[in-house]
Amino acid sequence: MPALLRSLVRRSSRRGAFLYPGAEIRDLPGAQGRHPARVRVSVEGQAKAAVEVGRNRLAITAGVFALAFCVIAGRLVDLMALNGGEAEAMAAAMAASDGPVVGAVVARSDIVDRNGVILATNLPTVNLYADTRAILDPEEAARRLVQLFPDMEYGETRDKLASGGHFVYLRRHLTPEQQEAVNLLGQPGLEFEPTERRVYPQGPLAAHVLGATSTDNHGIAGIESSFDRYLLEKAEPLQLSLDVRVQHAVRDVLLKAVDRFHAIAGAALVADVRTGEILALVSLPDYQPEAFSGAPADSRRNRATLGVYEMGSTFKLVNTALGLEVGGYHVTDGFDASHPLRMAGFTIHDDHAQARWLSIEEILVHSSNIGSAKMALAIGGDAQKAFLDRLGLLSPISLELPEVGKPLYPDPWRPINTVTISYGHGVAVTPVHMVNAVMPLVNGGWYRPATLLRQDPEAPPPGHQVVSARTSDTMRSLMRRVVTDGTGRKADVAGYLVGGKTGTAEKNEHGRYRHKALLPSFVAAFPMDDPRYVVLAMLDEPKGIPETHGFAAAGWNAAPTAGAMIARIAPILGVRPRGPETPVAPEVRFATASGDAGRAVH
């Protein structure tokens, strides 16, 4: 062996060249028969074979990875687009389930006010349901859930979890914290369903306009119900005519008035006389829209659109317009109000008796029942009924709400009905009806139905003329006189030229009037030199207080309430205060006892 090593070292040092592995043994003993060229060819062939094997292995590996990616991509398409038939399987399972199952929850469009402020929108949330086949111990699972949600009843929850259903709702609209708490239970079979919850950022502010939705996000009241299909199908928000700023101010004033006068309820409206748009609609008490189903029935009742009431002396505006427009009277024409009027076993008195002849102007300013009745009788019941119908007072309002009331009126329309209707008893209408009727009396005579949808200011609804511009101008002057010199003094607001009319009706229940149960209201317009808005305030059964000397009539409560509303909303609406008033036109004169100031009508 040492001799071999010496030979190898000697040969290596002598050649000094690189030797391929194995080449160093070609001259060793026993190797004389090997051919050097053959050895070289064998080594090179082996190297090429090794390279080829490596390439083949890489190709095979790449092919395997490509196939795996194709399988994964196909599965993703199946799950995301085709759903692998699992949707149908789940639907079938839900249909076969013993638990409460509802339709799929879908998104709804937002509802916004006229300025884009959100009134109703959606929040993403989850519903908790159970695949009860995976619940190993229903009693233990129920116990742990009831610990998380104390309002859940243990027995009912246990029965649901033991029902064997594939899809059983347990709780809807979990908060993120509640979802996390359920996850931490680590309970197999408890799953979450993505959904949306309808929320109302303004709270109860516009509850009776917006209404509410059901647990599956379908409208069940208010605008949510009327426009259910629109809100489900359209992407853009539904824009209402309401102005959140005005709505807030009106609701705040009405809340304070209900509290101050110890009323059981109240209602208020603000409308644009040029377009019919309702800027504020309030009914008290109200409710949280998210808790609609649990709200008392009295709170859910929309007194502004559904409740029908005898509106009392506010109807004298309609009666006066009837005399001017249909009867052809002038404001200085007069009627004898010296003595009470007896008819059909009834005696008609004046609450603010003047005991003399009164001009038409004085009849309205002093709110004379006797003068109003005699004027209506002189014109006739048929003409009176037709005029009320012309102003929309005998038909249901065409408002975009399901909660609308139908007027009540006598049939047949007898002379005694003509008398009582002249001063607001015998016909029952909604507050919206009253606003609808007053708008044309101050806007030049044009009737445009009230609406809760925002209108194009450049293209207002066409409307139709129901009284002449001359009658409208006269009514504006008379309404202003009621506030400056009549029963509406407490509604006046410096600089805003408020005009209007008080009305105090006794509530009729079961065919009998309750003398102590009053329904005072005040309907106003401003500014009377160029009217833009009509405001109505109504209180239900207010009580007399020391500040009103115990009186509960409209002049003491509804009138100042309407005035407070106007003082709050006029600056918001951009109505600038006026300067000193223009004196009343000389031809508007008071009648004397002898009637020589104008035509005396007996």
Active site residues: 313
Classify residue 88 as exposed, middle or buried by CB count within 10 Å of its CB (0-12, 13-18, 19+).
exposed
Residues in a beta bridge with 408? 428
Q: Which of 477, 457, 426 is nearest to 587 (CA)?
A: 477
CB 595 within 8 A of CB 335: no
Pure H helices in 137-175 = 138-148, 154-161
List Cα–Cα distances, 592 to 153, 336, 370, 487, in angstroms. Answer: 78, 10, 16, 20
The span from the CA of 23 to the CA of 194, in Å, is: 76
The span from the CA of 308 to the CA of 255, in Å, is: 21
The CA-CA-CA angle for residues 452, 457, 459, to 5°, reads: 100
The span from the CA of 517 to the CA of 532, in Å, is: 33
Pure H helices in 423-465 = 431-442
The span from the CA of 128 to the CA of 124, in Å, is: 14
CB 525 within 8 A of CB 273: yes
Q: Which of 472, 405, 480, 396 is nearest to 439 (CA)?
A: 472
Pure H helices in 289-399 = 297-300, 316-325, 360-365, 369-379, 381-390
Residue 134 DSSP code:
G
Beta carbons within 10 angstroms of residue 203's beta carbon: 12
